Each structure stands twice: as structure tokens, then as C-alpha cells.
Amino acid sequence: MLLVIDVGNTNITVAVYQNKENKGSFRLRTKTERTSDEYGVILVNLLKEREVEKSMIEDVIISSVVPNLMYSLRNAIYKYFGVNPMIVEPGLKTGISIHTDNPKEVGADRIVDAVAAYNEYGGPVLIIDFGTATTYDLISEKGVFEAGITSPGIRISADALWTQAAKLPEIQIEKPKSILAKNTITSMQAGLVYGYIGQVEYIIEKVKEETGIKDLKVVATGGLGRIIAGETDKIDIYDPDLSFKGLYYIYEKNKANRDGRKEWK
């Protein structure tokens, strides 16, 4: 079995793959202060809940945008699973060519999503990842990462609203029945959700306008993406497992040169 781990700014999402099949997934909060033993015990116990023993894990691949926790996480994988994990970083084969001003600035999470979307749905494709930040990445018909757009995520926008305005309460992010709000909570929900839908639709149309690709496929992912994807016809596919699929594809492209049981220091 292959353990795939996607470390984001807010959550760490984990899935177990057997061949190409996702056998189960879970998430935990991203905490940089955890020790390797804490990560190891948490992972082992969560896997047991899905009837997966640590001895069944043959290899591990990690994508991370949080460098500060990588030493503890890598050490945890080695100590508890006996595996030196594959890390998504420059040097791995992905099948995606990055044509930006500074390719090294493109985060591992965006590359992973690009690999998954291109392999699953083909190109040209625009990938929208509704994470801590919301990212829009354009992949060409030939698998070239052409451009990226970054905006504040929905939760960042919501946090700013209630932390910077003293009288506004913390609310649940959901679409109200009407944009014509009658109270403070629904007025905030309307502004956040309908406003975000408007942003997403405008950016999609602007990308299509500037590229001239009118039939551009749009694929969305990320936890809060479900709220937005269900409210607009500009998004063609919502795939919550896009990052897991990308990690699996990258592992498959690189496993021939792999010795995951070698010593890690």
C-alpha cells in the first residue's frame, strides 16, 4: 500500500492507495510544533481505524507547503513505517513543464493538482484549488503550466471580516437562501459566498478571454470548493481527491528509481 500525504497550511490530508484505488482518507490540523513521535502515533492510530496496519504501508509520498514541519514528519515516517518518504520537489518527474518567470516559486501543491487534472481530464484545463488561498492554474493542451492566479481563500476573507470589524460575529460559511439578507449573519454569508462566486466566475471568463480558449475545461478541488462549485455552471468538475490522485501519479512516474527503505538521516 502507498501512503500519500498532502501538507497544507490549514490541514494535512492523508490517503491510502492500493494500486490506483483510494482505500480511505483522513485529515488532521497542521501543527508545526508536533514532534515526530506525535505525528507517528497519530498516523498509525488513524490508519488502524481504517483497518490498515503500519506493516502494510510499503511506501510514502509527501507534498508540502509548510517547510517547518517537514523534519518531524519525515522522521515520523521513517521511525514508524521504516520508509524514507518520496518528497515532491525539483528533480522528480511530473510530466508537467512549468513556463513561468520563476518555476521554483510554483508550490508543490499546485504541481500535484496540475499533474492530476492533466492526467485525469486532459488539457487545456484551469484548476481551481479552494484552500487557505484560492489558486487558479492554467495547464495547456501539451501539459505546460502556463500561468497562475492567487487570491485570498474564503476562510481568510471570512476571518478578516469578523476579526477586523468589532461588531461582526464569527459565522458558518454557507450560502443563505437569498442574497437579500434580513439579518447580520445572513448578510455576511451572502457577501462571502455570493461575492466569492462572482470572483470565481469573473476570473474564469477573464482567463478564457485572454487565452482565447472558449472551451477551457475548469476543474475545482479543495474543501470549501464544494460550496462554490455547486452554485455556478462555470466549473465543469469538482474533484475533492485531486491532490491524492496527483501524488499517486507522481509516485508512479518515479517509483522505478525508488529505494524507500534506505536509511534517512
Cell 501519479, located at residue:
249
109 is catalytic: yes
Q: Are 164 and 181 in contact (CB under 8 A)?
A: no
Dist. CA 236–CA 218, nearest whole Å: 5
CA proximity to 208, closest of 239, 236, 245? 236
Catalytic residue among 109, 113, 137, 239: 109
Dist. CA 205–CA 98, nearest whole Å: 23
CA proximity to 204, closest of 243, 227, 231, 233? 233
Dist. CA 205–CA 97, nearest whole Å: 24
**Chain center to CA of 202:** 22
Catalytic residue numbers, as ranges: 109
